[in-house]
Amino acid sequence: MSKYPGVPSIGFNEALIFDSSREGRMGCSLPGLDVPEVDTADVLPDALIRTRDAELPELSEPEVTRHFTRLSTWNFSVDHGFYPLGSCTMKYNPKVNELTARLPGFSMLHPYTPVHLSQGAIELMMALEEALREVSGMAAVSLQPAAGAHGELTAMMAVRAALTKRGNPRKKVLIPDTAHGTNPATVTLNGYVTEPVASSEDGYLTADAVREKMNDDVAALMLTNPNTLGLFEKNIKEICDVVHSRGGFVFGDGANLNAIMGKARPGDFGVDAMQFNLHKTFSTPHGGGGPGSGPVGVCAELAPFLPGPRPVRNADGTFDLVTLPESIGRVRSFFGNFGVMVKAYTYLRELGAAGLEKVSEMAVLNANYLLSLIGDTWHVPYGNGRCMHEVVASDKHLAHTGVTTLDVAKGLVDRGFHPPTVYFPLVVKGALMCEPTETESKDTIEEFAAAMLEIADQATIDPDALHRAPVNTRITRLDEATAARKPILTASMGEKDE
Ligand SMILES: *Cc1c(COP(=O)(O)O)cnc(C)c1O
Protein backbone atom coordinates (compact mmCIF):
# COMPACT_ATOMS: atom_id res chain seq x y z
CA MET A 1 0.00 0.00 0.00
CA SER A 2 1.11 3.57 -0.71
CA LYS A 3 2.32 5.47 2.33
CA TYR A 4 -0.03 8.27 1.25
CA PRO A 5 -3.82 8.09 1.09
CA GLY A 6 -3.87 8.68 -2.68
CA VAL A 7 -3.48 5.53 -4.80
CA PRO A 8 -4.26 4.82 -8.44
CA SER A 9 -7.34 2.64 -8.31
CA ILE A 10 -10.46 1.67 -10.19
CA GLY A 11 -12.33 4.71 -11.37
CA PHE A 12 -15.11 5.15 -13.87
CA ASN A 13 -15.13 7.57 -16.72
CA GLU A 14 -18.44 9.13 -17.40
CA ALA A 15 -19.90 10.65 -20.53
CA LEU A 16 -22.08 13.74 -20.49
CA ILE A 17 -25.59 12.76 -19.53
CA PHE A 18 -26.80 14.10 -22.90
CA ASP A 19 -24.51 11.69 -24.75
CA SER A 20 -26.02 8.73 -22.87
CA SER A 21 -29.53 9.77 -23.83
CA ARG A 22 -31.58 7.33 -25.97
CA GLU A 23 -34.85 8.43 -27.46
CA GLY A 24 -37.85 7.11 -25.59
CA ARG A 25 -35.95 5.81 -22.56
CA MET A 26 -37.69 6.67 -19.29
CA GLY A 27 -36.99 6.72 -15.57
CA CYS A 28 -40.58 6.49 -14.44
CA SER A 29 -43.93 5.10 -15.49
CA LEU A 30 -46.87 7.46 -15.24
CA PRO A 31 -50.47 6.28 -14.94
CA GLY A 32 -52.88 6.99 -17.79
CA LEU A 33 -54.63 10.37 -17.87
CA ASP A 34 -57.79 10.28 -15.74
CA VAL A 35 -59.00 13.84 -16.41
CA PRO A 36 -60.14 15.40 -19.67
CA GLU A 37 -57.24 16.46 -21.89
CA VAL A 38 -56.96 20.24 -22.48
CA ASP A 39 -55.19 22.10 -25.24
CA THR A 40 -52.38 24.27 -23.81
CA ALA A 41 -53.35 27.01 -26.25
CA ASP A 42 -56.65 27.35 -24.36
CA VAL A 43 -55.05 27.89 -20.97
CA LEU A 44 -51.64 29.54 -21.59
CA PRO A 45 -50.59 32.68 -23.48
CA ASP A 46 -48.77 31.94 -26.75
CA ALA A 47 -45.46 33.27 -25.45
CA LEU A 48 -45.32 30.56 -22.80
CA ILE A 49 -45.99 27.63 -25.12
CA ARG A 50 -43.00 25.64 -26.44
CA THR A 51 -42.52 25.52 -30.16
CA ARG A 52 -40.16 22.53 -29.89
CA ASP A 53 -39.54 19.86 -27.29
CA ALA A 54 -37.32 20.64 -24.31
CA GLU A 55 -33.84 19.19 -24.86
CA LEU A 56 -33.80 16.87 -21.90
CA PRO A 57 -31.79 13.66 -21.75
CA GLU A 58 -33.81 10.45 -21.78
CA LEU A 59 -32.46 7.75 -19.47
CA SER A 60 -33.57 4.98 -17.15
CA GLU A 61 -33.40 5.36 -13.38
CA PRO A 62 -30.32 3.12 -12.95
CA GLU A 63 -28.49 5.08 -15.64
CA VAL A 64 -29.22 8.34 -13.87
CA THR A 65 -28.20 6.87 -10.50
CA ARG A 66 -24.91 5.58 -11.92
CA HIS A 67 -24.21 8.82 -13.72
CA PHE A 68 -24.43 10.96 -10.60
CA THR A 69 -22.85 8.38 -8.30
CA ARG A 70 -19.84 8.12 -10.60
CA LEU A 71 -19.54 11.87 -10.84
CA SER A 72 -19.68 12.07 -7.04
CA THR A 73 -16.57 9.84 -6.84
CA TRP A 74 -14.64 12.46 -8.82
CA ASN A 75 -15.11 14.92 -6.01
CA PHE A 76 -12.64 15.51 -3.25
CA SER A 77 -14.09 16.55 0.08
CA VAL A 78 -13.00 16.79 3.68
CA ASP A 79 -14.84 13.48 4.21
CA HIS A 80 -12.34 11.91 1.75
CA GLY A 81 -9.14 13.28 3.12
CA PHE A 82 -6.91 16.12 4.24
CA TYR A 83 -7.99 19.47 2.81
CA PRO A 84 -5.54 22.10 4.08
CA LEU A 85 -6.97 24.94 1.96
CA GLY A 86 -5.69 27.94 3.92
CA SER A 87 -8.11 30.69 4.96
CA CYS A 88 -11.06 28.44 4.03
CA THR A 89 -10.99 26.41 7.28
CA MET A 90 -11.97 23.07 5.76
CA LYS A 91 -12.59 21.35 9.07
CA TYR A 92 -14.49 18.09 9.40
CA ASN A 93 -18.21 18.74 9.86
CA PRO A 94 -19.76 16.49 12.52
CA LYS A 95 -22.68 14.48 11.18
CA VAL A 96 -24.88 15.35 14.15
CA ASN A 97 -25.14 18.85 12.61
CA GLU A 98 -26.80 17.29 9.57
CA LEU A 99 -29.16 15.33 11.79
CA THR A 100 -30.51 18.41 13.54
CA ALA A 101 -30.74 20.44 10.32
CA ARG A 102 -32.89 17.65 8.89
CA LEU A 103 -35.38 17.59 11.78
CA PRO A 104 -38.70 18.04 9.94
CA GLY A 105 -39.69 21.00 12.15
CA PHE A 106 -36.73 22.89 10.69
CA SER A 107 -36.25 21.41 7.25
CA MET A 108 -39.95 21.44 6.27
CA LEU A 109 -40.68 24.91 7.64
CA HIS A 110 -41.91 27.11 4.82
CA PRO A 111 -40.43 30.62 4.89
CA TYR A 112 -43.93 32.09 4.66
CA THR A 113 -45.14 30.20 7.75
CA PRO A 114 -46.73 32.79 10.07
CA VAL A 115 -44.64 34.01 12.99
CA HIS A 116 -46.83 32.36 15.63
CA LEU A 117 -46.16 28.97 13.99
CA SER A 118 -42.39 29.57 13.56
CA GLN A 119 -41.58 30.30 17.19
CA GLY A 120 -38.96 27.55 17.54
CA ALA A 121 -37.03 28.66 14.45
CA ILE A 122 -37.05 32.29 15.61
CA GLU A 123 -35.93 31.21 19.07
CA LEU A 124 -33.04 29.25 17.53
CA MET A 125 -31.97 32.31 15.51
CA MET A 126 -31.99 34.43 18.67
CA ALA A 127 -29.98 31.82 20.58
CA LEU A 128 -27.42 31.65 17.76
CA GLU A 129 -27.16 35.45 17.68
CA GLU A 130 -26.56 35.41 21.43
CA ALA A 131 -23.83 32.76 21.17
CA LEU A 132 -22.07 34.71 18.40
CA ARG A 133 -22.28 37.90 20.48
CA GLU A 134 -20.67 36.04 23.36
CA VAL A 135 -17.84 34.58 21.23
CA SER A 136 -17.07 37.90 19.52
CA GLY A 137 -17.87 40.56 22.14
CA MET A 138 -20.04 42.43 19.64
CA ALA A 139 -23.21 44.26 20.79
CA ALA A 140 -25.61 42.91 18.14
CA VAL A 141 -25.60 40.24 15.42
CA SER A 142 -27.68 39.76 12.27
CA LEU A 143 -27.78 36.32 10.69
CA GLN A 144 -29.15 37.42 7.34
CA PRO A 145 -26.06 37.63 5.03
CA ALA A 146 -25.52 34.47 2.99
CA ALA A 147 -21.70 34.32 2.92
CA GLY A 148 -18.61 35.95 4.37
CA ALA A 149 -18.26 38.46 1.56
CA HIS A 150 -21.95 39.28 1.91
CA GLY A 151 -21.47 39.86 5.66
CA GLU A 152 -18.58 42.24 4.91
CA LEU A 153 -20.80 44.13 2.51
CA THR A 154 -23.62 44.32 5.05
CA ALA A 155 -21.26 45.58 7.76
CA MET A 156 -19.84 48.27 5.52
CA MET A 157 -23.37 49.32 4.51
CA ALA A 158 -24.09 49.81 8.22
CA VAL A 159 -20.85 51.84 8.55
CA ARG A 160 -21.89 54.06 5.65
CA ALA A 161 -25.36 54.53 7.18
CA ALA A 162 -23.91 55.46 10.59
CA LEU A 163 -21.43 57.94 9.11
CA THR A 164 -24.15 59.46 6.93
CA LYS A 165 -26.25 59.94 10.04
CA ARG A 166 -23.29 61.67 11.72
CA GLY A 167 -23.21 64.02 8.74
CA ASN A 168 -20.57 62.70 6.29
CA PRO A 169 -20.25 59.17 4.82
CA ARG A 170 -16.55 59.85 4.01
CA LYS A 171 -14.71 58.50 0.97
CA LYS A 172 -11.96 55.98 1.62
CA VAL A 173 -11.36 52.65 3.36
CA LEU A 174 -7.91 51.47 4.47
CA ILE A 175 -6.97 47.90 3.63
CA PRO A 176 -3.69 46.14 4.52
CA ASP A 177 -1.74 44.49 1.69
CA THR A 178 -2.33 41.05 3.23
CA ALA A 179 -6.14 41.30 2.86
CA HIS A 180 -8.47 38.84 1.16
CA GLY A 181 -9.80 40.07 -2.21
CA THR A 182 -13.35 40.28 -0.88
CA ASN A 183 -12.32 43.28 1.31
CA PRO A 184 -11.56 45.71 -1.56
CA ALA A 185 -14.55 44.29 -3.47
CA THR A 186 -16.77 45.21 -0.50
CA VAL A 187 -15.30 48.70 -0.44
CA THR A 188 -16.00 49.29 -4.12
CA LEU A 189 -19.54 47.91 -3.96
CA ASN A 190 -20.23 50.35 -1.12
CA GLY A 191 -19.10 53.30 -3.19
CA TYR A 192 -15.83 53.80 -1.28
CA VAL A 193 -12.27 53.87 -2.61
CA THR A 194 -9.63 51.44 -1.33
CA GLU A 195 -6.49 52.91 0.16
CA PRO A 196 -3.84 50.18 0.64
CA VAL A 197 -1.70 50.07 3.77
CA ALA A 198 1.62 48.20 3.65
CA SER A 199 2.44 45.76 6.42
CA SER A 200 5.85 45.87 8.05
CA GLU A 201 8.78 43.68 7.02
CA ASP A 202 7.85 41.10 9.64
CA GLY A 203 4.25 40.85 8.37
CA TYR A 204 2.40 42.97 10.95
CA LEU A 205 0.30 46.06 10.51
CA THR A 206 1.76 48.95 12.52
CA ALA A 207 -0.06 51.83 14.18
CA ASP A 208 2.31 54.25 12.42
CA ALA A 209 1.40 52.93 8.95
CA VAL A 210 -2.28 53.37 9.79
CA ARG A 211 -1.72 56.80 11.39
CA GLU A 212 -0.04 58.01 8.22
CA LYS A 213 -3.09 57.18 6.07
CA MET A 214 -5.83 57.92 8.61
CA ASN A 215 -7.69 61.20 8.13
CA ASP A 216 -11.23 62.60 8.10
CA ASP A 217 -11.86 61.15 4.61
CA VAL A 218 -11.38 57.61 5.85
CA ALA A 219 -14.59 55.79 6.77
CA ALA A 220 -12.99 52.61 8.07
CA LEU A 221 -10.07 50.26 8.29
CA MET A 222 -10.77 46.66 7.23
CA LEU A 223 -8.32 44.21 8.77
CA THR A 224 -8.07 40.49 9.40
CA ASN A 225 -6.84 39.21 12.76
CA PRO A 226 -5.08 36.80 12.83
CA ASN A 227 -3.98 38.08 9.43
CA THR A 228 -3.61 35.98 6.30
CA LEU A 229 0.07 35.35 7.06
CA GLY A 230 -1.11 33.42 10.13
CA LEU A 231 0.07 36.13 12.55
CA PHE A 232 -1.88 37.73 15.39
CA GLU A 233 -1.78 41.49 14.84
CA LYS A 234 0.07 42.42 18.00
CA ASN A 235 -0.51 46.18 17.58
CA ILE A 236 -4.25 45.74 17.24
CA LYS A 237 -5.36 47.85 20.22
CA GLU A 238 -3.24 50.84 19.23
CA ILE A 239 -4.30 50.53 15.57
CA CYS A 240 -8.00 50.58 16.56
CA ASP A 241 -7.38 53.61 18.80
CA VAL A 242 -5.80 55.49 15.88
CA VAL A 243 -8.82 54.82 13.64
CA HIS A 244 -11.35 55.69 16.37
CA SER A 245 -9.57 58.90 17.33
CA ARG A 246 -10.22 60.21 13.80
CA GLY A 247 -13.87 59.10 13.81
CA GLY A 248 -13.44 55.96 11.67
CA PHE A 249 -14.77 52.45 12.20
CA VAL A 250 -12.71 49.27 12.37
CA PHE A 251 -14.04 46.31 10.42
CA GLY A 252 -12.57 42.94 11.40
CA ASP A 253 -12.66 40.21 8.76
CA GLY A 254 -13.86 37.32 10.93
CA ALA A 255 -12.85 34.50 8.57
CA ASN A 256 -9.95 33.59 10.86
CA LEU A 257 -12.00 33.50 14.07
CA ASN A 258 -11.19 29.78 14.33
CA ALA A 259 -7.77 30.70 15.75
CA ILE A 260 -8.87 32.86 18.69
CA MET A 261 -12.19 31.62 20.07
CA GLY A 262 -12.23 31.75 23.86
CA LYS A 263 -8.85 33.55 23.83
CA ALA A 264 -9.55 37.01 22.39
CA ARG A 265 -12.72 38.78 21.31
CA PRO A 266 -12.72 41.25 18.39
CA GLY A 267 -15.22 43.44 20.29
CA ASP A 268 -12.71 43.68 23.16
CA PHE A 269 -9.69 44.59 21.04
CA GLY A 270 -11.46 47.44 19.24
CA VAL A 271 -13.32 45.96 16.27
CA ASP A 272 -16.66 47.72 15.56
CA ALA A 273 -18.04 45.35 12.93
CA MET A 274 -17.16 41.88 11.72
CA GLN A 275 -18.52 38.96 9.75
CA PHE A 276 -18.65 35.37 10.89
CA ASN A 277 -18.19 32.62 8.34
CA LEU A 278 -20.47 30.00 9.87
CA HIS A 279 -19.36 27.63 7.10
CA LYS A 280 -15.74 27.96 8.18
CA THR A 281 -15.51 28.46 11.94
CA PHE A 282 -18.79 26.87 12.92
CA SER A 283 -18.50 23.75 10.91
CA THR A 284 -20.89 23.44 8.04
CA PRO A 285 -19.89 21.98 4.67
CA HIS A 286 -18.81 24.54 2.10
CA GLY A 287 -16.93 24.89 -1.13
CA GLY A 288 -18.81 22.64 -3.51
CA GLY A 289 -20.59 21.11 -0.55
CA GLY A 290 -23.26 23.50 0.58
CA PRO A 291 -24.47 27.04 1.07
CA GLY A 292 -22.68 29.40 3.44
CA SER A 293 -23.83 31.87 6.01
CA GLY A 294 -22.04 35.11 6.92
CA PRO A 295 -23.69 36.75 9.95
CA VAL A 296 -22.50 40.21 10.84
CA GLY A 297 -21.73 41.45 14.35
CA VAL A 298 -21.62 45.16 15.19
CA CYS A 299 -21.02 47.60 18.04
CA ALA A 300 -23.88 49.53 19.68
CA GLU A 301 -23.60 52.56 17.36
CA LEU A 302 -24.03 50.37 14.26
CA ALA A 303 -26.78 48.12 15.69
CA PRO A 304 -29.80 50.25 14.60
CA PHE A 305 -28.70 49.86 10.95
CA LEU A 306 -28.63 46.06 10.84
CA PRO A 307 -30.76 44.41 8.16
CA GLY A 308 -34.32 43.46 9.01
CA PRO A 309 -36.55 41.79 9.84
CA ARG A 310 -34.81 40.93 13.11
CA PRO A 311 -35.91 38.26 15.59
CA VAL A 312 -36.93 39.71 18.96
CA ARG A 313 -38.32 38.37 22.22
CA ASN A 314 -41.58 39.95 23.39
CA ALA A 315 -42.25 40.80 27.04
CA ASP A 316 -44.51 37.72 27.34
CA GLY A 317 -41.68 35.41 26.22
CA THR A 318 -42.98 34.81 22.67
CA PHE A 319 -40.89 35.68 19.62
CA ASP A 320 -41.50 38.17 16.86
CA LEU A 321 -39.86 39.75 13.82
CA VAL A 322 -39.31 43.51 13.52
CA THR A 323 -37.48 45.88 11.18
CA LEU A 324 -35.83 48.81 12.94
CA PRO A 325 -36.63 52.26 11.48
CA GLU A 326 -33.01 53.05 10.49
CA SER A 327 -32.27 49.56 9.10
CA ILE A 328 -30.35 49.30 5.83
CA GLY A 329 -33.22 46.95 4.83
CA ARG A 330 -33.12 43.39 3.63
CA VAL A 331 -29.91 41.96 2.22
CA ARG A 332 -31.31 38.49 1.57
CA SER A 333 -34.70 36.95 0.87
CA PHE A 334 -36.44 35.58 3.97
CA PHE A 335 -33.98 35.02 6.86
CA GLY A 336 -30.75 33.88 5.23
CA ASN A 337 -29.56 30.28 4.93
CA PHE A 338 -31.47 28.91 7.89
CA GLY A 339 -30.22 25.30 7.54
CA VAL A 340 -26.65 26.50 8.03
CA MET A 341 -27.74 28.32 11.19
CA VAL A 342 -29.18 25.10 12.63
CA LYS A 343 -25.89 23.29 11.92
CA ALA A 344 -23.81 26.08 13.44
CA TYR A 345 -26.01 26.26 16.52
CA THR A 346 -25.76 22.49 16.98
CA TYR A 347 -21.97 22.75 16.75
CA LEU A 348 -21.87 25.55 19.33
CA ARG A 349 -24.07 23.59 21.74
CA GLU A 350 -22.08 20.38 21.23
CA LEU A 351 -18.84 22.10 22.19
CA GLY A 352 -19.86 24.76 24.70
CA ALA A 353 -17.51 27.54 25.75
CA ALA A 354 -14.70 25.24 26.91
CA GLY A 355 -14.95 23.17 23.73
CA LEU A 356 -14.69 26.23 21.50
CA GLU A 357 -11.58 27.40 23.30
CA LYS A 358 -10.10 23.94 22.80
CA VAL A 359 -10.93 24.12 19.08
CA SER A 360 -8.79 27.22 18.72
CA GLU A 361 -5.98 25.77 20.83
CA MET A 362 -5.88 22.62 18.72
CA ALA A 363 -6.11 24.54 15.43
CA VAL A 364 -3.08 26.62 16.43
CA LEU A 365 -1.21 23.62 17.83
CA ASN A 366 -1.78 21.60 14.64
CA ALA A 367 -0.52 24.41 12.44
CA ASN A 368 2.56 24.83 14.61
CA TYR A 369 3.19 21.09 14.54
CA LEU A 370 3.07 21.17 10.74
CA LEU A 371 5.39 24.17 10.73
CA SER A 372 7.84 22.34 12.98
CA LEU A 373 7.88 19.36 10.59
CA ILE A 374 8.41 21.28 7.34
CA GLY A 375 9.94 24.57 8.52
CA ASP A 376 13.58 23.46 8.21
CA THR A 377 13.12 22.49 4.56
CA TRP A 378 10.42 24.82 3.34
CA HIS A 379 10.84 28.58 3.18
CA VAL A 380 8.38 30.12 5.67
CA PRO A 381 8.95 33.86 5.33
CA TYR A 382 7.04 35.20 8.35
CA GLY A 383 6.55 34.37 12.02
CA ASN A 384 10.04 33.25 13.08
CA GLY A 385 9.05 29.62 13.42
CA ARG A 386 5.68 30.31 15.07
CA CYS A 387 2.22 30.81 13.60
CA MET A 388 -1.43 30.96 14.54
CA HIS A 389 -3.80 28.59 12.70
CA GLU A 390 -2.06 28.49 9.31
CA VAL A 391 1.41 28.08 7.86
CA VAL A 392 2.31 30.21 4.86
CA ALA A 393 5.26 28.64 3.03
CA SER A 394 6.69 29.63 -0.36
CA ASP A 395 8.49 28.03 -3.30
CA LYS A 396 11.50 30.34 -2.91
CA HIS A 397 13.87 27.56 -1.80
CA LEU A 398 13.01 25.61 -4.97
CA ALA A 399 13.87 28.47 -7.35
CA HIS A 400 17.05 26.74 -8.60
CA THR A 401 15.07 23.61 -9.54
CA GLY A 402 12.46 25.38 -11.69
CA VAL A 403 9.71 23.75 -9.63
CA THR A 404 6.95 26.19 -8.69
CA THR A 405 4.09 26.32 -6.21
CA LEU A 406 1.71 25.09 -8.93
CA ASP A 407 3.88 21.96 -9.46
CA VAL A 408 3.94 21.36 -5.72
CA ALA A 409 0.14 21.59 -5.56
CA LYS A 410 -0.14 18.99 -8.36
CA GLY A 411 2.41 16.76 -6.65
CA LEU A 412 0.26 16.82 -3.52
CA VAL A 413 -2.79 15.78 -5.58
CA ASP A 414 -0.82 12.71 -6.76
CA ARG A 415 -0.24 11.79 -3.13
CA GLY A 416 -3.92 12.07 -2.19
CA PHE A 417 -4.08 15.50 -0.57
CA HIS A 418 -6.11 18.51 -1.53
CA PRO A 419 -3.56 21.26 -2.22
CA PRO A 420 -3.25 24.19 0.13
CA THR A 421 -4.33 27.65 -1.02
CA VAL A 422 -1.78 28.76 -3.60
CA TYR A 423 -0.43 32.20 -4.57
CA PHE A 424 -2.32 33.90 -1.70
CA PRO A 425 -1.65 36.06 0.31
CA LEU A 426 -0.20 38.17 -2.47
CA VAL A 427 2.61 39.57 -0.30
CA VAL A 428 4.22 36.10 -0.34
CA LYS A 429 5.49 35.22 -3.80
CA GLY A 430 4.60 31.62 -4.66
CA ALA A 431 2.64 31.21 -1.43
CA LEU A 432 1.38 27.84 -0.17
CA MET A 433 -1.05 28.56 2.63
CA CYS A 434 -1.72 25.45 4.73
CA GLU A 435 -4.48 25.35 7.33
CA PRO A 436 -4.69 21.91 8.93
CA THR A 437 -7.56 22.85 11.34
CA GLU A 438 -8.17 21.22 14.70
CA THR A 439 -9.98 18.19 13.31
CA GLU A 440 -6.88 16.49 11.84
CA SER A 441 -4.96 13.84 13.72
CA LYS A 442 -1.22 13.92 14.43
CA ASP A 443 -0.82 11.08 11.92
CA THR A 444 -2.50 12.97 9.09
CA ILE A 445 -0.35 16.03 9.69
CA GLU A 446 2.75 13.82 9.66
CA GLU A 447 1.66 12.15 6.41
CA PHE A 448 1.14 15.54 4.78
CA ALA A 449 4.45 16.87 6.07
CA ALA A 450 6.18 13.75 4.69
CA ALA A 451 4.63 14.47 1.29
CA MET A 452 5.83 18.08 1.42
CA LEU A 453 9.37 16.95 2.27
CA GLU A 454 9.34 14.26 -0.43
CA ILE A 455 8.21 16.83 -2.99
CA ALA A 456 11.03 19.17 -1.96
CA ASP A 457 13.48 16.26 -2.56
CA GLN A 458 11.88 15.30 -5.84
CA ALA A 459 12.19 18.92 -7.00
CA THR A 460 15.98 18.66 -6.90
CA ILE A 461 16.23 15.07 -8.21
CA ASP A 462 13.53 14.95 -10.89
CA PRO A 463 11.87 18.32 -11.43
CA ASP A 464 10.28 17.16 -14.70
CA ALA A 465 8.21 14.59 -12.85
CA LEU A 466 6.68 17.44 -10.83
CA HIS A 467 6.07 19.51 -13.96
CA ARG A 468 4.03 16.54 -15.28
CA ALA A 469 2.06 15.90 -12.08
CA PRO A 470 -0.62 14.86 -11.40
CA VAL A 471 -0.34 11.45 -13.06
CA ASN A 472 -2.47 9.41 -10.64
CA THR A 473 -5.66 11.28 -11.48
CA ARG A 474 -8.33 10.65 -14.09
CA ILE A 475 -7.37 13.82 -15.90
CA THR A 476 -3.70 14.73 -15.85
CA ARG A 477 -2.10 18.18 -16.09
CA LEU A 478 -4.36 20.65 -17.88
CA ASP A 479 -3.37 23.76 -19.71
CA GLU A 480 -5.00 25.88 -17.01
CA ALA A 481 -5.19 29.09 -19.02
CA THR A 482 -7.00 27.39 -21.90
CA ALA A 483 -9.22 25.45 -19.51
CA ALA A 484 -10.27 28.71 -17.86
CA ARG A 485 -10.60 30.83 -21.00
CA LYS A 486 -12.01 28.34 -23.51
CA PRO A 487 -13.68 25.62 -21.47
CA ILE A 488 -15.48 22.90 -23.42
CA LEU A 489 -18.69 22.69 -21.46
CA THR A 490 -20.99 20.95 -23.88
CA ALA A 491 -20.88 17.97 -26.18
CA SER A 492 -23.11 16.89 -29.03
CA MET A 493 -26.50 18.03 -27.79
CA GLY A 494 -25.65 21.47 -26.48
CA GLU A 495 -23.69 22.49 -29.57
CA LYS A 496 -26.79 22.82 -31.71
CA ASP A 497 -27.91 25.94 -29.87
CA GLU A 498 -24.67 27.86 -30.07
C1 LIG B 1 -13.25 33.07 3.09
C2 LIG B 1 -12.81 34.44 3.38
C3 LIG B 1 -13.61 35.55 3.07
C4 LIG B 1 -14.92 35.45 2.29
O5 LIG B 1 -15.85 34.58 2.79
P6 LIG B 1 -16.89 33.82 1.84
O7 LIG B 1 -17.79 33.11 2.77
O8 LIG B 1 -16.09 32.91 0.96
O9 LIG B 1 -17.62 34.86 1.04
C10 LIG B 1 -13.15 36.79 3.45
N11 LIG B 1 -11.97 36.96 4.06
C12 LIG B 1 -11.16 35.91 4.35
C13 LIG B 1 -9.85 36.15 5.05
C14 LIG B 1 -11.55 34.62 4.01
O15 LIG B 1 -10.75 33.57 4.28
The pLDDT value recorded for residue 41 is 92
Predicted TM-score (pTM) of the model is 0.91
User: Does position 492 have pLDDT exceeding 60, yes or no?
Assistant: no
* Segment 331-340 mean pLDDT: 95
* Distance in angstroms (rounded) separating the CA atoms of residues 126 and 196: 37
pLDDT band at 490 (very low <50, low <70, confident <90, very high): low
* Distance in angstroms (rounded) separating the CA atoms of residues 93 and 268: 29
pLDDT band at 73 (very low <50, low <70, confident <90, very high): confident
The pLDDT value recorded for residue 13 is 84
User: Does position 339 have pLDDT exceeding 90, yes or no?
Assistant: yes
Q: Which protein residue's CA is at the shortest distance from atom 1 of ligand 1? A: 88
The pLDDT value recorded for residue 157 is 98
Distance 88 CA to ligand 1 centre (A): 7
The pLDDT value recorded for residue 91 is 96
Buried b (16+ CB within 10 A) or exposed e, 431-470: bbbbbbbbbbeeebbebbbebbeebbebbeeebebbbebb
* Segment 482-487 mean pLDDT: 88
Distance 133 CA to ligand 1 centre (A): 20
Distance 255 CA to ligand 1 centre (A): 6
pLDDT per position as a tens digit, 203-216: 999 999 999 999 99
Q: Which protein residue's CA is at the shortest distance from atom 6 of ligand 1? A: 148
Distance 287 CA to ligand 1 centre (A): 11
The pLDDT value recorded for residue 285 is 87
Q: Does 277 sit in the ligand 1 pocket, CB within 6 Å?
A: yes
> Mean pLDDT in the chain?
94
CA 294 to ligand 1: nearest atom: 7
Q: Does 149 sit in the ligand 1 pocket, CB within 6 Å?
A: yes
Distance 279 CA to ligand 1 centre (A): 10
* Distance in angstroms (rounded) separating the CA atoms of residues 420 and 457: 19
The pLDDT value recorded for residue 252 is 98
pLDDT band at 12 (very low <50, low <70, confident <90, very high): confident
The pLDDT value recorded for residue 125 is 97
pLDDT band at 451 (very low <50, low <70, confident <90, very high): very high
Q: Does 175 sit in the ligand 1 pocket, CB within 6 Å?
A: no
* Amino acid sitting at position 65: T
pLDDT band at 498 (very low <50, low <70, confident <90, very high): very low
Q: Does 240 sit in the ligand 1 pocket, CB within 6 Å?
A: no
* Segment 391-420 mean pLDDT: 97
* Segment 20-49 mean pLDDT: 93
Distance 440 CA to ligand 1 centre (A): 21
* Segment 188-201 mean pLDDT: 97
pLDDT per position as a tens digit, 50-63: 999 888 999 999 99
User: Does position 495 have pLDDT exceeding 60, yes or no?
Assistant: no
* Segment 150-165 mean pLDDT: 98
Q: Which protein residue's CA is at the shortest distance from atom 5 of ligand 1? A: 148
pLDDT band at 311 (very low <50, low <70, confident <90, very high): very high
The pLDDT value recorded for residue 75 is 84
**Domains assigned to the chain:** 96-349 (3.40.640.10)
Buried b (16+ CB within 10 A) or exposed e, 302-334: bbbbbbbbbbeeeeeeebeeeeeeebbeebbee
To test the ligand 1 pocket, which listed residue (87, 89, 182) has its Cβ within 8 A of the most ligand atoms?
182
Close Cβ partners of 407 (under 8 Å, ≥ 6 residues apart): 459, 463, 466, 467, 469
Q: Is residue 100 a contact partner of residue 346, using CB atoms and an 8 Å limit?
A: yes
Q: Which protein residue's CA is at the shortest distance from atom 15 of ligand 1? A: 87
CA 179 to ligand 1: nearest atom: 13
User: Does position 173 have pLDDT exceeding 80, yes or no?
Assistant: yes
Residue positions counted in the chain: 498
pLDDT band at 496 (very low <50, low <70, confident <90, very high): very low
Q: Does 180 sit in the ligand 1 pocket, CB within 6 Å?
A: yes
pLDDT per position as a tens digit, 105-115: 999 999 999 99
pLDDT band at 251 (very low <50, low <70, confident <90, very high): very high
Determine how β-strand 193-197 pairs with β-strand 172-176.
parallel
CA 253 to ligand 1: nearest atom: 11
* Segment 227-235 mean pLDDT: 96
What whole-number percentage of the chain has pLDDT above 70? Answer: 97
* Segment 468-476 mean pLDDT: 90
* Segment 347-368 mean pLDDT: 98
The pLDDT value recorded for residue 6 is 83
Buried b (16+ CB within 10 A) or exposed e, 159-187: bbbbbeeeeebbebbbbbebbbebbbebb
Determine how β-strand 172-176 pairs with β-strand 218-224.
parallel
* Distance in angstroms (rounded) separating the CA atoms of residues 324 and 116: 20
